[in-house]
């Protein structure tokens, strides 16, 4: 896939991000949530992948910087764009932005059954460090808590 631009999310992307979330998650975020994240949350970093030919938003990823920790909020890729390393490219940029903000370790929660996402994160050196039982209210599924730490750092 060519002509894909990975860039910081802007207010103009909010509708597309909310629409994309509906395609990707059982409990999607509202347009208002994305709007607040982008305009009012100074700790949030959001990036999108834009199709340069059509302007379509193919994916987005977000992270909160909390002191020296980065909390990944979401990574989502439109179904028709999957398996073209878009999530990987967005994650790479997100982690590099986080590191330039002083982040030394990143964490996230992922559904136990989400093999695609677990495999993506494992490829970025995230490791399972815990479980939140029944964390997801829609189906009572467990969340795996994954961390990526600089080598030598310990939990
Ligand atoms: C998870 C998701 C973001 C992956 O996006 P993507 O752009 O297709 O991922 P990439 O192409 O960058 O894949 C990177 C690696 O992740 C793994 N992976 C991705 N999709 C996979 C799948 N369906 N099955 C198994 N492994 C998968 C592979 O190891 C892949 O590397 P490879 O293609 O060289 O084998 C996408 O499937 C998605 O949006 N899912 C719905 C939303 C979601 O669950 N987000 C995560 C919330 S925690």
Residue 128 near ligand 1, beta carbon < 6 Å: no
Residue pLDDT, tens place only, 64-105: 999 999 999 999 999 999 999 999 999 999 999 999 999 999
Same domain, 83 and 134: no
State residue 101's pLDDT score.
95
Q: Where does the pLDDT of residue 47 fall: very low under 50, low under 70, confident under 90, or very high at 90 and above? A: very high
What predicted TM-score, i.e. pTM, was given to this entire model? 0.96
- Would you call 121 a catalytic residue per the annotation? yes
- CA–CA distance, 98 with 47 (Å, rounded to integer): 12
Residue pLDDT, tens place only, 113-135: 999 999 999 999 999 999 999 99
Structural domain including 120 reads: 107-155
Give, for ligand 1, the residue of 87, 109, 148 to mutate: max count of ligand atoms closer than 8 Å to Cβ: 87
Residue pLDDT, tens place only, 28-43: 999 999 999 999 999 9
Domain edge (last residue) among 103, 120, 137: 103
Q: Whose CA is nearest to atom 20 of ligand 1?
A: 116
Total number of domains in the chain: 2
Q: Hey, how many other C-beta atoms are within 10 angstroms of the C-beta on 93?
A: 17
* Ligand 1: centre distance to CA 125 (Å): 15
Same domain, 52 and 125: no
The ligand 1 atom at the shortest distance from the C-alpha of residue 110 is 48
The ligand 1 atom at the shortest distance from the C-alpha of residue 120 is 16
Contact 126, 148 (CB under 8 A): yes
- CA–CA distance, 10 with 35 (Å, rounded to integer): 9
Beta bridge partners of 77: 59
Query: What is the domain-level CATH number for residue 61?
Result: 3.40.630.30
């Amino acid at each position: 896939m060519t002509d894909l631009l990975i860039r910081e999310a802007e207010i103009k992307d909010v509708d597309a991000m909310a629409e994309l979330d509906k395609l990707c998650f059982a409990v999607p975020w509202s347009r208002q949530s994305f709007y607040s994240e982008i305009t009012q949350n100074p700790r949030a970093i959001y990036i999108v992948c834009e199709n340069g030919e059509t302007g379509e938003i193919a994916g987005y990823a977000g992270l909160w910087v909390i002191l020296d920790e980065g909390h990944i909020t979401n990574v989502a890729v439109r179904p028709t764009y999957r398996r073209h390393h878009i999530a990987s490219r967005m994650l790479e940029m997100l982690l590099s932005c986080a590191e330039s903000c002083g982040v030394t370790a990143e964490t996230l929660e992922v559904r136990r059954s989400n093999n695609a996402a677990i495999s993506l994160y494992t490829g970025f050196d995230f490791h399972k460090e815990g479980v939140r039982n029944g964390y997801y209210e829609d189906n009572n599924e467990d969340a795996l808590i994954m961390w990526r730490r600089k080598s030598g750092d310990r939990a």
